[in-house]
Structure 1
Amino acid sequence: MAAESRSRGDSYDNIEPLFEKIAALDSTDPRRGPLREELIGRCLPLAEHIARKFSGRGENFDDLLQVARLGLVQAADRFDITHGSSFLSFAVPTIMGEVRRHFRDNTWAVRVPRRTKEIQLSLGPTIEALSQQLGRIPRAREIAEELRVDLVEVTQALIAGNAYQSSSLDAVAGDDIENAPLPLLDSLGVEESHYRYVEDYLAVQPLIEELPEREKQVLIMRFFESKTQSQIAEQLGVSQMHISRILSRTLAKLRDQALRD
């Protein structure tokens, strides 16, 4: 199934016309079923991609893939084409929410306050609804306004999303033992000086779109494209020290914005 999904490529990028065809049919029309199956089949690579993003956290990939596909089916059934937003902007948070719910329902690796857990439980449906309305993933402040809670509480709940299940450092990394025979501890690299900012960065990810273009570009290249500071500096035509200062200043600013009372 995975190989078949990959062979279709990113065929879900222009999926809205199929939703329009389905919406134009009566609920009892026998053509709706095959069209729905085609729609979901074309979007299977998206579910697989999201499942792989969550792999390596102590859960079997096949289980994550099944949960992600369930989220995809739910997104396909709930999506309303008349709202004018793209299916991708609605499906991604819906599927991710379902996968996160899978982790949350198993166990929490650390103690999390009850209030934070309650807000965390509301994040998935709220993000899903706002994504449908806005046509994009909502910012933390927009989530806080929708839930009528403090921005700090939303930020804490977003951070708590990482506290699902811990994995032993003695466990073998990956699902394929033959291709990954070393314990996770032995496969870890040398710590990079700016990694101490990563948790802050993840907590304020919804605020990144408000950054100036240059700061946003540096963050994306460093944390999403895994480029080194030297590679970023060379591409942008500046010094490595300048990139280091941008990273330090920007991440500190984002952290302060998210945690400000």
Structure 2
Amino acid sequence: MVHNRPSKTLVSAGVLVYLFLYIPLAVVVIFSFNDSKLNAEWVGFTWKWYEKLIHNENILRAAGNSLIIAIISAAMATVLGTLAGLAIHRGRQKWLPALVLGPIAMPDILIGVSLLLMFILLNVSLGSVSIILAHVSFCIGFVALAVQSRLAGMDQSLIEAARDLGASPWQSFRLISLPLLMPGIIAGALMAFTLSIDDFVITFFTAGVGSSTLPLEIYSMVKIAVTPEVNAVSTLLMLVTLTLITVLSKISPTVLRQ
């Protein structure tokens, strides 16, 4: 058997691309431990910036808001996205996939502005509720994709056998379909949580006074100066995101294989 090895040029190009992507992230992590208020040069190792974060009420409040919003948004998007994925798989409406998956392809700034205008027209106060509704609107499509990919590889004969044995539609869904769909549902929920907790653009347009999230708080800190404290916050947010992505990568192959 002949194994085609990638050329050295292709490997070198790949290495350069990954270095370009990850070196800035590594610099942020390293300088979060820098014992200096400026990021101009390395002075020494310290944990004090992480200690300051523990006593920073604005950061803690924003992190708490982000966590609550992400959990509620992910839960709502998971339920609605699962139903949307089932509808796309079983339905014959050609417009339904475009309607559900459309927000995925739209620019974030377009979604943010349109949602802002809608909230103004409906006289909805901007705050945590508007942010949650906005996050749910663009997370549904990602959950639906995960569920739909799971449905595409699912053995429909199991459901038909359950129906032939006298199971009702609800029983066949609860006992057969739902357990088989669970890896896709979990993957979609983790994706929705990650997208919600990291979102900045849409949140920027739909957040009101006193409803700051962690990305918005980081942005307000960066406008003054990129201090090691900002690097520390970014490092923790990066750690949470990478952890969720790692868990998602372990679940996704199962969704695609079965």
TM-score range, shorter chain: under 0.3
Higher RCO by CA contacts (8 Å cutoff, separation 6 or greater)? 2
Q: Normalising by the residue count of structure 1, what TM-score does the alignment of the two structures yield?
A: 0.26
Between structure 1 and structure 2, the one with the greater Rg is 2
TM-score normalised over the length of structure 2: 0.26
